[in-house]
Amino acid sequence: MTVCIIGGGASGMMAALTAAEQGHQVLLLERQARVGRKLLATGNGRCNLTNHYAAPEYYHDHYHGQQADFCAYALSAFDVGSTLQWFAQRGLLTTAEDSGRVYPYSNMAGSVLDVLRYALEQPNIDLRTGATVKRIRHKGEDFTVETEDDTIHADKVILAAGGTAGSKVGGVMDGYQLAKHLGHHRTALFPSLVQLKTDPTYPRSLKGVKAEAEIRIMQAGQTLAVNRGEILFTEYGVSGPAIFELSRVVSCGGEGLDVVLDFLPDWDEQATQDWLRQRQEAAGTREAGTLLAGTLHSRLGQMLCKAAGFTSQCTATLSDWDLKGIAQQLRHFTLPILGTCGFDQAQVTAGGLRTDEFDPQTMESRLVPGFYACGEVLDIDGDCGGYNLQWAWSSGHLAGQLLSASH
């Protein structure tokens, strides 16, 4: 049987290798000059290829979509253990962090891509790069797949064209459009795992400063989501993994959102107040803006005092009420959110092909028998930390088995 796979990313390579193992003749079409370009950019070049918490019992916490349980079958059928074993059999050594994040032992995304590329070098896989698929046609039991300069006949087609996130490394809308011609629909798309844009006044002056904080996304006094971790101030707002993890809530949250930062989350209000009073006594006649020197990054400390209204006046003149104002900034520093950055900066596309139009136990289309989809092109997205690649491996492995409920 001839299987045509569209997209040589994480899920497409996994699907191709699985289909070849079943003895099928595989044609893998990739529009870019080489396969796995996005994979090389993952995990800041280290490739966080999976996460031990991507086990099915935790999937509710880590995967999203209009029907998030769609991912459960694939994630259990080819789970984290099977994935790591699969890679180990092809020579990839890995190492895990306490957070469950798994990286190649070499700390190089190129190692993950290397083992996949070498595995693709086999007689029943025909890899064609620089081949952009323009149209898939389906007639009877056959498919024709059209590229700019070729028309290919196939018995089955697997769409692994990814999402539109990470456009600098190859994210495009093609997958949705190709599926649409076959009668499929998609949900609304929005960028996820992406930086937040806020009122830039304070972040701009703190550009490059990092701080540990508890981060709350608030709307009209209600907490929509909370996270903890390192944040990075940028020219346009805030960034960092802990912020990325909240970006989905911001994309879906509508208007009037604030990000509220607590720079001393383990302290109670009284301890904060006592600390500031101690610092005041020690500071004597120094400028009020230096009150938080030694507590936080100096630029951040000065900025919080400034946000409370104090810069050059003498610390000794600050009243209890003034110290309360500084404590308020230290514990509830509020930035109005303007939105998220776009798909070019995002790590993943939230939304995608409607999963009710596919069978979760095979990844086969319910509308077009013999047509399969896997990876990010579907309406499943995961949290930061290796969850998206695990979805790509699991769904690609399932699709590559070319199971069919109709046969």
Residues that bind ligand FAD (CB under 6 A): 6-12, 29-32, 37-39, 41-43, 47-48, 132-133, 160-162, 165-166, 169-170, 172, 174-175, 347-348, 375-377, 386-389, 392
Written as six digits, the tokens of 25 are 């003749």
Please name which of 106, 174, 92 lies closest in space to residue 349, comparing C-alpha atoms: 174
> From the CB of 304, what's the least distance to ligand FAD, in Å?
31
> From the CB of 381, what's the least distance to ligand FAD, in Å?
8
C-beta closer to ligand FAD: residue 30 or 357 = 30
C-beta closer to ligand FAD: residue 45 or 294 = 45
> From the CB of 44, what's the least distance to ligand FAD, in Å?
7
Helices and strands, number each (H, E), in the chain: 14, 21
Pairing of strands 2-6, 156-159: parallel
> What is the Cα–Cα distance from 101 to 290, expressed in whole angstroms?
39
Sheet holding 371-373, edge to edge: 125-129, 25-30, 2-6, 156-159, 371-373
> What is the Cα–Cα distance from 240 to 218, expressed in whole angstroms?
18
Residue 329, CA distances (Å) to 46, 245, 269, 339, 361 in order: 36, 23, 12, 22, 51
Hey, is 206 helix, strand or coil? coil
> What is the Cα–Cα distance from 14 to 27, expressed in whole angstroms?
13
C-beta closer to ligand FAD: residue 7 or 289 = 7
C-beta closer to ligand FAD: residue 181 or 204 = 181
Amino acid letter, residue 349 = T
C-beta closer to ligand FAD: residue 65 or 175 = 175
> From the CB of 228, what's the least distance to ligand FAD, in Å?
20
C-beta closer to ligand FAD: residue 230 or 320 = 230
> From the CB of 377, what's the least distance to ligand FAD, in Å?
6
> From the CB of 57, what's the least distance to ligand FAD, in Å?
19
C-beta closer to ligand FAD: residue 179 or 337 = 179
> From the CB of 339, what's the least distance to ligand FAD, in Å?
19
C-beta closer to ligand FAD: residue 329 or 349 = 349
> From the CB of 150, what's the least distance to ligand FAD, in Å?
12
Sign of CA dihedral 213, 218, 221, 227: negative
Which residue, judged by CB position, is nearest to ligand FAD in the bound state? 9
Amino acid letter, residue 250 = V
C-beta closer to ligand FAD: residue 162 or 301 = 162
C-beta closer to ligand FAD: residue 180 or 277 = 180
> What is the Cα–Cα distance from 92 to 115, expressed in whole angstroms?
7
Sheet holding 142-147, edge to edge: 133-139, 142-147, 150-154
> What is the Cα–Cα distance from 162 to 176, expressed in whole angstroms?
9
> What is the Cα–Cα distance from 11 to 147, expressed in whole angstroms?
20
> From the CB of 393, what's the least distance to ligand FAD, in Å?
9
Torsion of CA 405, 135, 142, 129, to 10 degrees: -90
> From the CB of 182, what's the least distance to ligand FAD, in Å?
14
Q: What is the biggest distance separating any 2 CA atoms in the chain, rounded to whole angstroms?
A: 86
Written as six digits, the tokens of 269 are 């209000």
Contacting residues for 356 by C-beta, under 8 A, at least 6 apart: 67, 366
